[in-house]
Structure 1
């Protein structure tokens, strides 16, 4: 059985280096783009029928939404240093970003109607970093746009996994609309590594193995999770950062654990 290519390499070294759309991914909700800009360069877009969360992965920028200027935002120059600035933008708006340093700007998107929610800055500390897991399954999580914060479709989170550890583990999935037990959410991962020559392994698979893809993800890659379990394993010597975007028919994160691995929660 031919398996899909779920790894997306950067298309360029600068400018618009990633553009994942529902059409290119073959699904219905999540979009992800990434701009790599030098100081003085700009990016802009209309949100149309989508809501957007801009995440300043690294660097600083002056951000404007419609006629409202949010001034210069950003403070970290590495995704491994502190928490990010982000900006929520509803559907039916325009945005403009002018880099004031070298900048990595992620554009996370999902369907939205607009009108009821204003654009807003999401500063560091809005949802403080938490630690999940223990031992070699320890990872550090910042919920940039969780389901407890206002939005229509989007869920946005970033995770740092120390070298040699696993994350998105024990394996879980969220591919079935069966609330309150499980929600259907598509997901993208944007990967960075420290030092940058590192890599991680990710497996995306279903119970019946009709989907079973193993990938080596390098610095700057995006991985797609249309369905199934999706654990990530780092390698010795290299910390992993990834930015997750999730969306689906209902804005809630309810996952189902792989039964054969549930014993790990007791160890």
Structure 2
């Protein structure tokens, strides 16, 4: 299996654990917890800032000195808007599940001290439809560059059955602003119904990296560099949660020139 393809381990507790060390990069960390009612997860953020995303379910959240009470509402990532909590570096968070909970823990370097812990309310979320025809996908910006954070960029996307996504192919692997920014990225994939699958390719212009992966429900793909389009198959919707971070907190991408005609 590709080193860019991370399968979930087990069905409860921390089932995904991606660190900069395990990924072989510098900035992005990503964990997933699956909790039953009454179960808890907690971590020290240390030198990272964190965005907790309730992929599904609801739970009681504390972060630093704040008690945010019960956070979350949707029972599936394919229904409704996400609930999220920002936690600064040098802090601690804890979540106790009220229902079954699928919790994504998105992390990247932070210094802390300048930003408080906060619930990212539904009024902060922005939504957009990208593409046309069978390239349509539905985007919800959770922590975009115009919202307070030090390094993290977090977004979720739903791609209807049979459609392509992150397409035409684009990349963000050069620190060449204002043209392109360097950002590492993770994709956390969910499939509806869950027995389906989708595809993702990660490749560079010179093909020194060229990996094509069949992703199943709960899989993570790593994008250290290069283009990274997805496609889901007939009958199965694709959800993915993206986490990005790099030396500068901005998303400037470069489209594959041979596919630029698709944008006309």
Common fold: TM-score over 0.5: yes
Q: Which moved more, 1:63-72 or 1:106-115?
A: 63-72
Partner of 1:110: 108
Partner of 2:224: 226
Partner of 1:159: 157
Cα distance, 1:84 vs structure 2: 0.4
1:66 to 61, 64, 74: 64
Q: Which runs of 4+ in 1 moved over 4 A?
A: none
Question: For residues 4 and 198 of structure 1, do their structure 2 counterparts lie closer, same or farther at Cα, with a shift above 3 Å needed?
Answer: closer
Mapping of 1:76-225 within 5 angstroms? Answer: 76-225=74-223
RMSD (CA atoms):
0.9
Q: Secondary structure at the match of 1:91?
A: coil
1:120-155 deviation digits (Å, cap 9, x = unpaired): 101224223210111010000000000000000000
1:70-127 deviation digits (Å, cap 9, x = unpaired): 0001000000001100000110000110000000000000000000000110122422
Cα distance, 1:12 vs structure 2: 1.2
Unpaired segments ≥5 residues, structure 1 = none
Unpaired segments ≥5 residues, structure 2 = none
8 Å Cα contact 1:83-1:125 kept in structure 2: no
Structure 1 length normalisation: TM-score?
A: 0.98
2:50 to 49, 52, 71: 52
Q: Quote the Cα distance in structure 1 between the aligned partners of 2:236 and 2:59.
A: 28
Cα distance, 1:22 vs structure 2: 0.1
Q: Quote the Cα distance in structure 1 between the aligned partners of 2:112 and 2:153.
A: 16
Q: Quote the Cα distance in structure 2 between the aligned partners of 1:45 and 1:248.
A: 23
Q: How many residue pairs get matched?
A: 264
Q: Secondary structure at the match of 1:23?
A: helix
Q: Quote the Cα distance in structure 1 between the aligned partners of 2:96 and 2:12.
A: 15
2:242 to 244, 260, 267: 244
Q: Secondary structure at the match of 1:129?
A: strand
Partner of 1:42: 40
Pairing 1:18–2:49 present: no
Q: Quote the Cα distance in structure 2 between the aligned partners of 1:255 and 1:101.
A: 38
Cα distance, 1:205 vs structure 2: 0.1
Partner of 2:259: 261
Q: Quote the Cα distance in structure 2 between the aligned partners of 1:227 and 1:245.
A: 14
Q: Quote the Cα distance in structure 2 between the aligned partners of 1:51 and 1:64.
A: 15
